């Protein structure tokens, strides 16, 4: 039986994520979740299933429904919707739509996403469903289909309402679905400014502009009411790795920007995904007994991605074990032994060690010659 122990090199690792509450973070936010899209793992959470008010973060669902209608073809970006008195008079953040004007869905979406316009949200809702109340019913139907089980929408804007509720975890589900289902339309969230009726407004997302800008940030939405505090859904894409943050219950715009940036940078900086055996990697060779080839190459049965932290990075060990020599015939992908990966503080990970090659068995006479040769001389066996 052969044992080979290998230190997994840093060259086999590319930065990625955290696992669970592995970082043991402290944050003043009331609700937080960090989520890795590729690994589909919650990286850090605090009260992520606790009910909260989404405020304007509810507009992500409004955008989702519009995106879905655009993608299915029942709406077009150049279609125009009428601005009702209900939309025009709504307070809070606004796109400054004119009463009874006709505005393209393209402009309304930009008003909704960049300017967080309540008037734009209501105009879209009424144009699609006839009334904001009926649109809210559709929002809840979509939420149900996305398994946002702890969410209930009452309007298109996130305007305060006693029945309005969601969770940070549900908002991550919505964000992941929006990014995955509408990759082209999602790019609207990265726009840093929008001008309508000669009024320019910057994107309210602090991760995109200003002192709290985060490299790779490309969305999504802020929210604030007196009841909910200051919140944010932010998503960052770096070198193919996407992490989304939902944070809520902070005390000021400044704290929201500072804390969001801190949490995202910690997630990217302090944790990694270990990627091994990704390219049919050769691990070792085994001697063959009674085959038409003397050796076979060995590899892992499948690629592996696992979350690790910086402190354990240089302490990971991999041991490969097999009985040598291996008796022919041997098939490609046949199990030859085991790969055992030790990571400090975690259970060992085991993978099958398999053959990269096919080896046919020998005939009776050749088997006898080969056995005699091996017993006398050792080494290669034919």
The angle subtended at Cα 328 by Cα 324 and Cα 331, nearest 5°, is: 105
Q: Which of 48, 84, 93, 116 is catalytic?
A: 116
Q: Which of 46, 53, 59, 299 is catalytic?
A: 59
Which CA distances in Å does 356 have to 12, 161, 381? 21, 62, 18
Length of the chain: 382
- List CB contacts of 370: < 8 A, sequence separation 6 or more: 289, 290, 362, 381, 382
Six token digits for residue 291? 């085959």
- List CB contacts of 12: < 8 A, sequence separation 6 or more: 274, 275, 276
Q: Give the distance, in angstroms, between the CA of residue 6 and the centroid of all CA atoms in the same chain.
A: 31
Six token digits for residue 381? 């066996």
Buried b (16+ CB within 10 A) or exposed e, 198-231: eeebebbbbbbeeebebeebbbbbbbbbeebbbb
At residue 131, φ and ψ (nearest 5 deg) are -150, 160
Q: Which of 48, 56, 235, 355 is catalytic?
A: 56
Residue in this structure with the two tokens 């549900």, named with its chain if needed: 170
Answer yes or no: 59 catalytic: yes
Look at the alpha carbons of 132, 135, 137, 140 in this order and tell me if their dihedral is positive or negative.
Answer: negative
How far is residue 256's CA from residue 27's CA, in Å, rounded to a whole number?
A: 11
How far is residue 378's CA from residue 369's CA, in Å, rounded to a whole number?
A: 13
Based on C-alpha coordinates, what's the Rg of the chain? Answer: 28
Map residue 44 onto helix, strand or coil: strand
Answer yes or no: 116 catalytic: yes
Nearest CA to 244 out of 26, 36, 14, 21 is that of 36
How far is residue 245's CA from residue 210's CA, in Å, rounded to a whole number?
A: 18
Q: Which are the catalytic amino acids? A: 56, 59, 116
């Amino acid at each position: 039986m052969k044992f080979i122990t290998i230190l997994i090199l840093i060259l086999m690792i590319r930065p990625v994520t955290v696992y669970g509450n592995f970082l043991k973070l402290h944050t003043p936010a009331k609700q937080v979740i960090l989520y890795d899209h590729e690994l589909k793992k919650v990286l850090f959470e605090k009260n992520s299933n606790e009910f909260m008010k989404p405020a304007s973060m509810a507009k992500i669902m409004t955008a989702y429904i519009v995106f879905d209608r655009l993608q299915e073809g029942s709406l077009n970006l150049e279609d125009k919707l009428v601005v009702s008195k209900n939309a025009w008079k709504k307070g809070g953040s606004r796109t400054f739509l004119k009463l009874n004007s006709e505005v393209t869905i393209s402009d309304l979406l930009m008003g909704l996403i960049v300017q967080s316009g309540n008037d734009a949200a209501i105009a879209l809702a009424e144009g699609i469903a006839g009334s904001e109340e009926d649109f809210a019913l559709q929002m809840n139907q979509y939420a149900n289909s996305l398994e946002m089980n702890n969410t209930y929408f009452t309007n298109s804007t996130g305007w305060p309402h006693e029945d309005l509720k969601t969770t940070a975890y549900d908002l991550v589900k919505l964000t992941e679905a929006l990014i995955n289902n509408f990759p082209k339309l999602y790019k609207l969230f990265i726009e840093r400014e929008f001008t309508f009726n000669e009024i320019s407004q910057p994107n309210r997302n602090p991760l995109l502009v200003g002192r709290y800008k985060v490299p790779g940030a490309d969305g999504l939405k802020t929210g604030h009411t007196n009841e909910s505090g200051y919140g944010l859904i932010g998503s960052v894409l770096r070198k193919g790795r996407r992490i989304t943050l939902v944070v809520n219950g902070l005390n000021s715009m400044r704290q929201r920007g500072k804390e969001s940036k801190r949490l995202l940078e910690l997630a990217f900086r302090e944790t990694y995904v270990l990627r091994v055996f990704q390219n049919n990697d050769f691990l070792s060779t085994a001697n063959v007994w009674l085959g038409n080839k003397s050796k076979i190459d060995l590899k892992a049965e499948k690629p592996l991605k696992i979350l690790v932290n910086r402190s354990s990075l240089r302490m990971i060990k991999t041991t490969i074990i097999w009985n040598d020599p291996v008796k022919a015939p041997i098939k490609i992908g046949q199990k030859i032994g085991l790969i055992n990966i030790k990571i400090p503080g975690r259970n060992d990970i085991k993978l099958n060690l398999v053959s990269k090659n096919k080896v046919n068995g020998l005939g009776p006479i050749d088997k006898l010659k080969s056995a005699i040769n091996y017993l006398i001389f050792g080494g290669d066996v034919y």
